[in-house]
Chain A
Amino acid sequence: MPKPAVSMEKRGTTIRFSRVKNYVRQPHIVISLILLVILLIIVILPFAKMIEDSFVWQFADTRLSRNAEPGGLTLFHWKRVFASALTQNILFRPLMNSVSTSLSVSLLAMFIGSFLALLVSRTDLPFKKIIATMAVLPYVIPSYIHALAWLNLFKNSRIGGAAGVFQYLTGITPPDWLSYGYFPIVVTLSIHYFPFTFLLVSAALTSIDSRLEESGEILGATRFHILRRITFPLVLPALLSSFILTFSRVLGTFGTPYFLGTPVRYYTLATQIYSNIINRIPSVGYILAFVLIIISSAVIYINQRMIGKSKSFVTIAGKGFRVTETPLGKLSYPLLCLIILLFIASVILPLVLLVWQTLTLYPNDYSIKHLTLLFWIGEANTVFAEGEAGILLNPAIIRAAWNSIKLALVASVIAGFLGIFVGYAVVKGRNTKLAYAVEQMSFLPYLVPGIAFGALYLALFSHRIGPLPALYGTFALVALVCIAKNLPFTGRAGITSMLQIGSELEEASETLGARWITRFRKIILPLSIQGAISGFILVFITVMRELSLIILLVTPETRTLTTMTFRYQEQGYTQFSSAISVLIIIIVVFGELISRRFGKKNGI
């Protein structure tokens, strides 16, 4: 009880203080606030730091300009990117290359994916079930591994290094356009991304009631007419969506254009960011990353707007649809052969090429009599591969494998838990500004392509910030970037599962006297874990095959399998890079199969 003597003014402050205290006594508010701080550090701060660094002279800049005074403010880097003699090379050409490859890949992938989807969900094609399952595999294999396989096949000897299988078998030196640059980038990435369109369009097709199509048929329309006038408009949103999302993903892809483009100086924005940072002009790299983020955000924003508008359109019929199968007749077997060819080209052939490469004793000698298992199980020997042991015995690779697994485990568990907390904070605090802020901020990393996100982290964590030591070179930093980048997925999954659980189950335990920690352990966690597990596995696989996100951040200590592949490939040890690729494929396909067993998948 306040004493009567207490002045009004003083009472006013106690009241306000207690209000704050009441507000803060709600656990979801506390969690929101903690999340907000975490998100500020792992999402907002790197971005701010990157912008700041782009305006500051760096030490390395003294090589580029006499006026450079490290630490001072300058517009030098912005001018260099946007208004200098180098603009053409630094910005325009890579930008054009990025846009042209992205457009071509999106179109090609959309065409292959939707054609396959139409065949599988609307015709009597044989082996449809198996085809539908297999069609996802090219997407499971990391895209840069397709690039490596391409090189194993079509590499020519002009650039230096060993030639590929094609030249070995035919004796013809493949022309540069076939070995490197635009053409192979588009082909390999299309092969990688068509499953994405396939999944989206299949989902749209199966959710459309084919009675809509039948009613057209009853009115006397031809099959083709129905396809064009009824089916096509209905799947259009899914088509556009897959086009736009593929576009934004290709735009941010690093590995493939690096392996296939850089040898002939064919740069994209992503590879340009990398080489600027590696060549110690980080500020220019940051500005390019900024450009990439802006474009990719704009593209995703357009997509969100479109989905928002057309959502009601796609889900008209919901359940209870029936599907009429168009008989393919004579076309049936030619089409099946075509699909098998596609499957061979996208899955079997790359695998065969990779495995074959790992067995060659000399890089350009693919003959049977010179095949060897040395690169898998060879002892370290100074006469061979500069004394490196086969990958299954090589301590460096075993350590990288262990790093990869550790990284994927740590990132998926922490990102998964953070996702549950995000879901809890957002759903409990519905309609409050705080919850909205948490939701939006946790989604931000989705807008940032992997290589740019890595650049952001490099900008922030290469020096110490306040009490935090410089994290560059530590496992923690690599883990942190993987956690942040995957938060949009686990956060979404968390929100969905919290919405399904509802708030009353927790409240019921609250009225029975349970503390928050008990409520979380006994009610919230057991109920949301089921939904979270498929999210865990998804993140695990994603991190297992992650290259562009971490390539700027790993050091010899923190190497993973993927970055080892990258280094070996750079140094020309294609047998090693291929062998590790095979290892990665085995792990991710295995992970994919496990996640299938857990049923529902949370997006891609």
Chain B
Amino acid sequence: MERSIIEVENLTKVFGAVVAVDNVTFSIDKKEFLILLGPSGCGKTTILRMIAGLEIPTEGEIRLNGRIIFSSKKGIFVPARERDVGLVFQSYALWPHMTVFQNIAFGLKVKREAAPEIEKKVMDIISYMQLEGLKDRYPQEMSGGQQQRVALARMLVSRPDILLMDEPLSNLDAKLRLDMRAEIKIIHAQTGATTVYVTHDQVEAQTMASNIAVINRGIIEQIAPPKTIYNRPANLFVADFIGSPSINLIEGKTESGEVDGRMSVRNEWFSLKTACREIPAGRSVVAAIRPENISIVPSEGLNTLPGEVLTILPSGPETVLRVRYETYVFSLLLMQQVTLSPGQKVHLYLPPENILVFDKETENLLPLD
């Protein structure tokens, strides 16, 4: 079995009274593309900086390729420059007093490579990143997208095994961001470098990651492939944080007595059948269903609720509906254009197999089967 390239164990970072990263453990396999996803201030940048060696952790251990580069117990700290880890900053951090060529060549010069060698490698990467003709420009004389490419090129030219990127696309406009996403994916495929990528854009995370780590207040809430994160969120925070419009939550208590061994969730208005294994009756739970899993059906039946359309928000091929039933407002995401109007009565169908149930107290997902 191949070793994980990056292993992080019980990593903690405290700034004064703020616990920025709280006892985090995870590992990343070779060629993986891990995305750290979470709200602002949750500690993503801090984790990345500790891996790069720019921040000294308070506690824990980090290993790269099996080599301990930090351990609070063993008293080991390998400084950033000896770690051979490439890092792209959110601000790009290009040196304003150097040209594009000098910026990119810096890392090679530091490693004392021969001048013709440097020249060749830099020109190669310049043409690969389509920066031809800009090599004598200064960073201030380029657009955001061009600066971004230079920052990538500067990191890539010394071919590190591990790439760390801190929200590299957040300063770009929407169109350019799409292009660069694709480009970074291609780079990842071609170099095969293990990558840790920070973002708070969940679409970016869904489209690029091989694994996503959802972080909240310094804690990893879940680490899993994008599909799993989306379909089987480990807890209420992940369920709520991922997806737009956000997931519908229904509080209630468990019910039993059915013959098939699947639980139902009941509140004062209605009861929903789920695909979850039965647990003792009377537990407080939260049922959740994604907006696109609710459909509109012509007549009543199992798991259908009568409702009244509140708002209709068409956006291109999709439509976001808000439908009220008693005190609940459900969001629906329909992959079609609809001919409904506000105030209209409809029947909502919530398929049992798409309903997730979370324990109200622990907020963790209850097992499906």
Residues of A within 8 A of B (CB): 14-15, 17-19, 21-22, 25-26, 431, 502, 504-505, 507-515, 518, 522-523, 526-527
Instruction: Given A22-B56, A510-B54, A513-B110, decide whether A17 and B75 contact each other with a Cβ distance below 8 A.
Output: yes
Interface of chain B residues 152 through 167 with chain A (CB within 8 A): 154, 158
Which of B86, B97, B110 is within 8 Å of A514, CB to CB?
A: B110
Do A511 and B97 touch across chains, with their CB atoms under 8 A apart?
A: no
Q: Which residue of A lies closest to B71 (CB)?
A: A18
Q: How many Å lie between the Cα of A17 and that of B75 in the bound state?
A: 8
Do B75 and A19 touch across chains, with their CB atoms under 8 A apart?
A: yes
Majority SS of interface residues in chain A?
helix
Residue B84 is within 8 A (CB to CB) of chain A in the complex:
yes
Contacts of A504 in B (CB 8 A): 89, 91, 93
Q: Classify chain B's interface size.
A: 20 to 34
Contacts of B86 in A (CB 8 A): 511-512
Contacts of B16 in A (CB 8 A): 431
Contacts of A523 in B (CB 8 A): 95
Contacts of A527 in B (CB 8 A): 95-97
Residue B340 is within 8 A (CB to CB) of chain A in the complex:
no
Do A25 and B111 touch across chains, with their CB atoms under 8 A apart?
A: no
Residues of B within 8 A of A (CB): 15-16, 52-54, 56, 73-77, 79-87, 89, 91, 93-97, 106-107, 110-111, 154, 158
Q: How far is the CB of A283 from chain B (nearest CB, A)?
A: 46
* Among B81, B83, B84: residue with most chain A CB under 10 A: B81
Closest 8 pairs between A and B when the two form their complex, measured CB to CB: A18-B75, A512-B107, A504-B93, A508-B93, A22-B77, A510-B80, A511-B87, A514-B110
Contacts of A511 in B (CB 8 A): 52-54, 80-81, 83, 85-87
Do B110 and A507 touch across chains, with their CB atoms under 8 A apart?
A: no
Count of A-B contacts judged by CB separation below 8 Å: 79
Which of B52, B79, B87, B106 is within 8 Å of A25, CB to CB?
A: B79
Q: How many Å lie between the Cα of A18 and that of B97 in the bound state?
A: 38
Majority SS of interface residues in chain B?
loop
Contacts of A515 in B (CB 8 A): 81, 110
Pick 26 A–B contacts, CB within 8 A, sort by A: A15-B74, A18-B75, A21-B75, A431-B15, A502-B91, A504-B91, A505-B93, A507-B52, A507-B80, A507-B89, A507-B93, A508-B87, A508-B89, A509-B106, A509-B110, A510-B80, A511-B54, A511-B83, A512-B86, A512-B110, A513-B81, A513-B84, A513-B110, A513-B111, A514-B106, A526-B97
Q: How many Å lie between the Cα of A527 and that of B52 in the bound state?
A: 24
Which of A15, A510, A512, A513 is within 8 Å of B75, CB to CB?
A: A15
Q: Which residue of B lies closest to A18 (CB)?
A: B75
Q: How many Å lie between the Cα of A17 and that of B106 in the bound state?
A: 35
Contacts of B79 in A (CB 8 A): 25, 510
Q: How many Å lie between the Cα of A505 and that of B60 in the bound state?
A: 27
Do A18 and B81 touch across chains, with their CB atoms under 8 A apart?
A: no
Q: How many Å lie between the Cα of A18 and that of B75 in the bound state?
A: 5
Contacts of B87 in A (CB 8 A): 507-508, 511
Q: Which residue of A lies closest to B102 (CB)?
A: A522
Q: How many Å lie between the Cα of A508 and that of B110 in the bound state?
A: 13
Do B77 and A505 touch across chains, with their CB atoms under 8 A apart?
A: no
Contacts of A512 in B (CB 8 A): 81, 86, 106-107, 110, 154, 158
Instruction: Given A25-B77, A511-B52, A511-B81, decide whether A518 and B93 contact each other with a Cβ distance below 8 A.
Output: no
Instruction: Given A511-B52, A512-B107, decide whether A505 and B75 contact each other with a Cβ distance below 8 A.
Output: no
Do B54 and A522 touch across chains, with their CB atoms under 8 A apart?
A: no
Q: How many Å lie between the Cα of A19 and that of B70 in the bound state?
A: 11
Q: How many Å lie between the Cα of A514 and that of B110 in the bound state?
A: 6
Contacts of B91 in A (CB 8 A): 502, 504
Instruction: Given A511-B85, A512-B106, decide whether A18 and B74 contact each other with a Cβ distance below 8 A.
Output: yes
Do B81 and A514 touch across chains, with their CB atoms under 8 A apart?
A: yes
* Among A22, A502, A512: residue with most chain B CB under 10 A: A512
Which of A14, A431, A510 is within 8 Å of B81, CB to CB?
A: A510
Which of B56, B95, B107, B154 is within 8 Å of A505, CB to CB?
A: B95
Contacts of B97 in A (CB 8 A): 526-527
Do A518 and B80 touch across chains, with their CB atoms under 8 A apart?
A: no
Contacts of A18 in B (CB 8 A): 74-76
Contacts of B85 in A (CB 8 A): 511
Q: A18-B74, A431-B15 are in contact. List 8 more A-B contacts (CB 8 A).
A: A507-B80, A510-B54, A513-B82, A513-B107, A514-B81, A514-B110, A515-B110, A527-B95
Do A14 and B106 touch across chains, with their CB atoms under 8 A apart?
A: no
Q: How far is the CB of B363 from chain A (nearest CB, A)?
A: 34
Q: Which residue of A lies closest to B158 (CB)?
A: A512
Q: How many Å lie between the Cα of A522 and that of B98 in the bound state?
A: 10
Q: How many Å lie between the Cα of A504 and that of B81 in the bound state?
A: 14
Q: How many Å lie between the Cα of A511 and that of B155 in the bound state?
A: 9
Q: Which residue of A lies closest to B166 (CB)?
A: A504
Do A15 and B73 touch across chains, with their CB atoms under 8 A apart?
A: yes
Q: How many Å lie between the Cα of A15 and that of B94 in the bound state?
A: 38
Instruction: Given A504-B93, A511-B81, A511-B87, decide whether A518 and B73 contact each other with a Cβ distance below 8 A.
Output: no
Q: How many Å lie between the Cα of A295 and that of B96 in the bound state?
A: 46
Q: How many Å lie between the Cα of A518 and that of B52 in the bound state?
A: 19
Q: How far is the CB of A439 from chain B (nearest CB, A)?
A: 18
Q: Which residue of A lies closest to B52 (CB)?
A: A511
Do B106 and A507 touch across chains, with their CB atoms under 8 A apart?
A: no
Q: How many Å lie between the Cα of A26 and that of B80 in the bound state?
A: 11
Contacts of A507 in B (CB 8 A): 52, 54, 80, 87, 89, 93
Contacts of A513 in B (CB 8 A): 81-82, 84, 107, 110-111, 158
Q: Which residue of B lies closest to A512 (CB)?
A: B107
Contacts of B83 in A (CB 8 A): 511
Q: How far is the CB of B72 from chain A (nearest CB, A)?
A: 8
Q: How far is the CB of B162 from chain A (nearest CB, A)?
A: 10
Contacts of A502 in B (CB 8 A): 91
Q: How far is the CB of B64 from chain A (nearest CB, A)?
A: 13
Contacts of A25 in B (CB 8 A): 77, 79
Instruction: Given A14-B75, A18-B74, A508-B93, decide whether A522 and B106 contact each other with a Cβ distance below 8 A.
Output: yes
Q: Which residue of B lies closest to A518 (CB)?
A: B110
Q: How far is the CB of B98 from chain A (nearest CB, A)?
A: 8
Q: How far is the CB of B107 from chain A (nearest CB, A)?
A: 4
Q: Which residue of A lies closest to B55 (CB)?
A: A507
Q: How many Å lie between the Cα of A572 and that of B40 in the bound state?
A: 74
Q: How many Å lie between the Cα of A527 and that of B139 in the bound state?
A: 14
Q: How far is the CB of A15 from chain B (nearest CB, A)?
A: 5
Q: How far is the CB of A533 from chain B (nearest CB, A)?
A: 14
Q: How many Å lie between the Cα of A518 and that of B109 in the bound state?
A: 11
Q: How many Å lie between the Cα of A312 and that of B154 in the bound state?
A: 42
Q: How far is the CB of A431 from chain B (nearest CB, A)?
A: 7
Contacts of B158 in A (CB 8 A): 512-513
Q: How far is the CB of B193 from chain A (nearest CB, A)?
A: 14
Q: How many Å lie between the Cα of A522 and that of B106 in the bound state?
A: 9
Contacts of B107 in A (CB 8 A): 512-513
Q: Which residue of A lies closest to B111 (CB)?
A: A513
Q: How far is the CB of B71 from chain A (nearest CB, A)?
A: 9
Q: How many Å lie between the Cα of A513 and that of B52 in the bound state?
A: 11
* Among A25, A505, A511, A513: residue with most chain B CB under 10 A: A511
Contacts of A26 in B (CB 8 A): 56
Q: How many Å lie between the Cα of A11 and that of B196 in the bound state?
A: 35
Contacts of B96 in A (CB 8 A): 527
Q: How far is the CB of A82 from chain B (nearest CB, A)?
A: 45
Q: How many Å lie between the Cα of A19 and that of B56 in the bound state?
A: 11
Contacts of B77 in A (CB 8 A): 22, 25
Q: How far is the CB of B154 from chain A (nearest CB, A)?
A: 7
Q: How many Å lie between the Cα of A19 and that of B77 in the bound state?
A: 9
Contacts of A514 in B (CB 8 A): 81, 106, 110
Q: How far is the CB of B297 from chain A (nearest CB, A)?
A: 55
Q: How many Å lie between the Cα of A25 and that of B82 in the bound state?
A: 13
Q: How far is the CB of B73 from chain A (nearest CB, A)?
A: 7
Q: Which residue of A lies closest to B76 (CB)?
A: A18
Q: How far is the CB of A247 from chain B (nearest CB, A)?
A: 39
* Among A14, A15, A18, A508: residue with most chain B CB under 10 A: A508
Contacts of B52 in A (CB 8 A): 507, 511
Q: How many Å lie between the Cα of A26 and that of B82 in the bound state?
A: 13
